[in-house]
Amino acid sequence: MIGSLYAVYRKEMGHYFVSPVAYVVVAMFLFVSAYFFNLYVREIVEQSFGMPSDFDAPAQMLRAFLGLLALLALFLMPMVTMGLFAEERKRGTMELLMTSPIGETDIVLGKFLASLTLFVVMLVPTAAFMLYIWLHTDPAAPLRIVLSGYLGILLFGGCLLALGSFISSLTENQLIAGALTFGLFLLLWAIDFGSRGAESALGQTVQYLSVINHYEDFSRGVVDTSGLVYYLSFIGFFIFLTVRSIDSLRWRRA
C-alpha cells in the first residue's frame, strides 16, 4: 500500500511542478500575502500610538495575518484541486489508474497528500513574516499563536483540499470543478458570516459546523480538542466520499 500511495504521490508532485498552475497559485499567494502583511504592519503600528500600554500589537498583527492566509486559501485552493481527478478523466489516464493494481484509497490519498504538500510549500515562505514580527516587536510575538495558527491553517487547508478533491472526482471538466468548488467555498464563508452572533439552537449548530469558525480559535492561540476532531473528521469524511466516487467509476466501466 505504501509503495502504491507513494507512486501516486510522486506522480502528482511531478505534475504540479511541470504545470504553470502551481507556480501561478504559489506566486499569487505569496505576492498578496506580502502586500497585505506590509499594510497590516503599518496600520497596527499607527494604531498602537496612543493605545493603552497593554495593547498587544504583535498578537493583533499575527491574528490579522493568519486570517488573511485562510482567506487566500479559500480563494486559491479551487485552482489546486480542480484538476486532481477531472483532468485525469478528461485525458483518459484515469482508466489506466483504475486498471492498475493501485487501489482507490491509494489514488485518493496520494493525490490529497500531494495537494497538501503543495499547500505546505505555499505556507513555508510566510514563516519569514512571522520571523520579522518576532524580531521587531517588544515583547516578542507569542509563539503559541504562531504555532497554533499554522496548525490551524494547515488543517483548514486540508479541509478545503479534501472537499475540492471530492468535487473534482464528480466531473471531467476542470472549469466546472473549479467553479463548483469556488462557489461552495464562498457558501461556507457566507454561512459562517451569516451565523455570527446567532443565539438559536440552529445558529449555534451552524457555527459549530463552520470550517472557518473553528479556525479562529487556532488564530487566537487556542488549540481546542473539539476543533482538532472536527477538522480531522471533515477531512476523513470527504476523503471517504472521494474514494467511493472513484470506486463508482470502476463499477460503471465494468
Highest mean pLDDT among 56-65, 112-121, 241-250: 112-121
Write down the pTM of the prediction: 0.88
Q: Which residues contact 169 (CB under 8 A, 6 or more apart)?
A: 84, 85, 86, 242, 245, 246
Q: Which domain holds residue 241?
A: 2-253
Q: Which residue has the higher pLDDT, 250 or 223?
A: 223
pLDDT at 50: 59
Give, for 30, the enclosing helix (H) or strand (E). Answer: helix 20-48
Give, for 232, the enclosing helix (H) or strand (E). Answer: helix 225-253
pLDDT at 161: 94
CA distance 195 to 15: 40
pLDDT at 103: 82
Residue 100 has pLDDT above 90, yes or no: no
Q: Which residues contact 135 (CB under 8 A, 6 or more apart)?
A: none
Tens of pLDDT, residues 75-98: 899 989 988 888 877 777 776 777
CA distance 74 to 64: 16
What is the percent of the chain where pLDDT is above 70?
A: 81
pLDDT band at 249 (very low <50, low <70, confident <90, very high): confident
In this structure, are residues 25 and 105 in contact, taking their beta carbons and an 8 Å threshold?
no
Question: Across all residues in the chain, what is the average pLDDT?
Answer: 82
pLDDT at 31: 93
Residue 209 has pLDDT above 80, yes or no: no
Tens of pLDDT, residues 171-191: 888 889 889 998 888 887 777
- On the 0-12 / 13-18 / 19+ scale of CB atoms within 10 A, 157 is buried
pLDDT at 54: 57
pLDDT at 47: 67
DSSP per residue, 185-216: HHHHHHHHHHTTT--SHHHHHHHHH-HHHHHH
CA distance 65 to 129: 9
Please state the domain count of the chain.
1
pLDDT at 67: 86
Give, for 157, the enclosing helix (H) or strand (E). Answer: helix 143-168
Tens of pLDDT, residues 20-72: 888 999 999 999 999 988 888 777 766 666 565 555 667 777 888 888 898 89
Cis-peptide into 139, omega within 30 deg: yes
Q: Which residues contact 126 (CB under 8 A, 6 or more apart)?
A: 30, 33, 65, 69
User: Rounded to whole angstroms, what are the CA distances from 128 to 34, 133, 134, 225?
Assistant: 10, 9, 10, 28
pLDDT band at 212 (very low <50, low <70, confident <90, very high): confident
Residue 206 has pLDDT above 70, yes or no: no
Residue 165 has pLDDT above 80, yes or no: yes
pLDDT at 118: 93
In this structure, are residues 96 and 57 in contact, taking their beta carbons and an 8 Å threshold?
no
